[in-house]
Amino acid sequence: MNGPHDLGGQMGFGPVAPETDEPVFHAGWEKRALGVTLATGAFGAWTIDESRHARECLPPAIYYSASYYEIWIRALETLLERHGFVSADELQAGHKLWPGVTPKRVLHESDVAAVLARGAPCNRELDASPRFRPGDRVHTINEHPEGHTRLPRYARDKIGTIEAVRDGFVFPDTNAHGKGEDPQHVYTVCFESRELWGQGADPALTVSIDAWESYLEPA
Amino acid sequence: MTHEHHDHDHHHDNELDPFAARVKALETILTEKGLIDPAAIDTIVETYETKVGPRNGARVVAKAWADPEFAEWLERDATAAIASLGYMGRQGEHMQAVFNTEDTHNLIVCTLCSCYPWTVLGVPPVWYKAPPYRSQAVINPRGVLAEFGLILPEETRIRVWDSTAELRYMVVPMRPVETDGLSEEELAKLVTRDAMIGTGLPLRPGSLGPGALWPADDTGAAS
Q: What is the mean pLDDT of residues A176-191?
A: 98
Write down which residue in A95, A118, A141 finishes a domain. Answer: A118
Looking at the predicted structure, is the pLDDT value of residue A162 above 90? yes
pLDDT digits (tens, 9 = 90+) for A112-129: 999 999 999 999 999 999
Q: Over the Cα atoms of chain A, what is R_g?
A: 20
State residue B212's pLDDT score: 45
Question: Do residue A98 and residue A151 come from a single domain?
Answer: no
Q: What's A192's domain CATH number? A: 2.30.30.50
State residue B87's pLDDT score: 97
The ipTM is 0.97
Q: Could B162 and A152 be called an inter-chain contact, meaning their C-beta atoms sit closer than 8 Å? A: yes
State residue B208's pLDDT score: 65
Domain limits for position A203: 123-218
Contacts of B213 (CB under 8 A, 6+ apart): B58, B189, B192, B203
Active site residue B115: yes
Q: Could you tell me if residue A172 is inside a domain?
A: yes
Looking at the predicted structure, is the pLDDT value of residue A184 above 90? yes
Interface of B with A in 96-135 (CB under 8 A): 111-114, 122-123, 125-127, 129-135
State residue B207's pLDDT score: 74
Using CA atoms, how far apart are residues B13 and A26, in angstroms rounded to an integer?
7
Question: What does the mean pLDDT of chain A come to?
Answer: 97
Please give the model's pTM, rounded to 2 decimal places: 0.93
Question: Do residue A85 and residue A66 come from a single domain?
Answer: yes
Nearest CB to A94: which of B25, B89, B155?
A: B25
Question: Do residue A78 and residue A34 come from a single domain?
Answer: yes
Nearest to B95 by CA among A13, A210, A80: A210
Structural domains of chain B, ranges and CATH numbers in brackets = 15-49 (no CATH), 53-207 (3.90.330.10)
Active site residue B113: yes
Question: Do residue A114 and residue A128 come from a single domain?
Answer: no
Question: Do residue A129 and residue A84 come from a single domain?
Answer: no
Domains in chain A, number: 2
In residues, how long is chain B? Answer: 223
Nearest to B143 by CA among A197, A200, A16, A13: A16
Considering only CB atoms, which chain A residues are within 8 Å of B2?
A: none
Question: Do residue A149 and residue A105 come from a single domain?
Answer: no
State residue B10's pLDDT score: 45
Question: Do residue A86 and residue A106 come from a single domain?
Answer: yes
Q: Which residues of chain B have pLDDT under 50?
A: 1-13, 210-223
Q: Could you tell me if residue A140 is inside a domain?
A: yes
Write down which residue in A96, A118, A140 finishes a domain. Answer: A118
Percent composition of chain B: helix, strand, coil (DSSP 3-state, to 5): 40, 10, 50
